[in-house]
Amino acid sequence: MSELKRMAAIHDLSGLGKCSITAALPIVSASGVECCCIPTALLSTHTGGFTGWTFRDLSEDMVPIAKHWNSLGMKFDAVYSGYLASPEQGELLCECIDLLSDEDTLVIVDPAMADNGRYYANLGPDMTECFKKIIGRADIITPNMTEACFLTGTEYRSVGNDDEFVERLLDALTELGPETVVITGVCSSDGEVGIVGRDSKNGEVCRLMSPARNGTFHGSGDVFASALSALLVRGFEFERALRLAQEFVADCVDRTERRCGGGNYGLDFESALPRYIAKINE
């Protein structure tokens, strides 16, 4: 048995809607990695497509939690962050990264702030400025197409994300500091959607495209980034990790589509986990 890897997951906890911590915790654990959570905020649901959600900012707890773990001498093989409740939390996230990482820690930042060309509710351009600083601290980033455009000051295109356009984004994002960039929700002009990543080790671009689906599948980005982060920290080779994470999301989307056609309530990842676990342990 290889040694159990440990990850700190720093995201909001939205009780219903299966994103952020409620996706990261089960998926990272199922991937065979210990997942220690620092919630950035507590919400009744995520903010995409719901109204009337409750919201409690947990900024005050973030650094004290990281300090406590640090005082226990805990080592983290990865720090994986996602949605932040405010740009001010960016500073706190950097403090947490300082407290929890050393030179061997993989820092994965998902700059979760926008989708479909728009910021999530209550967030705006100051979030882009905040994430631009944070991703300078990251080894790997996983923006969706909207976030990739916002971070690089590029006009968002819902389709027509051809190779040249995507490679320009990869270059511009790499200039912000991370070694490895993975862009999700890349829509080509011929009706395909997928992921494009560039492995820092060999500079090769990996494109994994499949036919686009109808409907919205909220939480897909978080399911993907959670699986990818866990597989990378376990030492899976980059292209294999990308492929396994993408196949897992596709299976979750199939199941969600068959059951209800999609929506805000998150992906049916629970029933896809056994097959995913079997595949990654083959």
Residues that bind ligand PXL (CB under 6 A): 12, 14, 19-20, 43, 46-48, 83, 112, 120, 219, 222
Least Cβ distance, residue 27 to ligand PXL (angstroms): 13
- Which residues contact residue 6 at a Cβ distance below 8 angstroms, ignoring those fewer than 6 apart? 33, 34, 36, 74, 75, 76, 77, 78
CB of 70 to ligand PXL, least distance (A): 26
**Beta carbon of residue 234, minimum distance to ligand PXL (angstroms, whole number):** 23
Min. distance of Cβ 191 from ligand PXL in angstroms?
25
Nearer to ligand PXL, 47 or 246 (CB): 47
Which is closer to ligand PXL, CB of 22 or CB of 101?
Answer: 22
Nearer to ligand PXL, 28 or 105 (CB): 28
Comparison of 48 and 177: residue with beta carbon closer to ligand PXL: 48
> Which of residues 79 and 113 has its CB atom nearest to ligand PXL in the complex?
113
Residue 128 tokens read as: 């882009």
User: Residue 39 CB, nearest distance to ligand PXL (Å)?
Assistant: 11
What minimum distance in Å lies between the beta carbon of 126 and ligand PXL?
A: 17
Comparing CB distances to ligand PXL, the nearer of 77 and 219 is 219
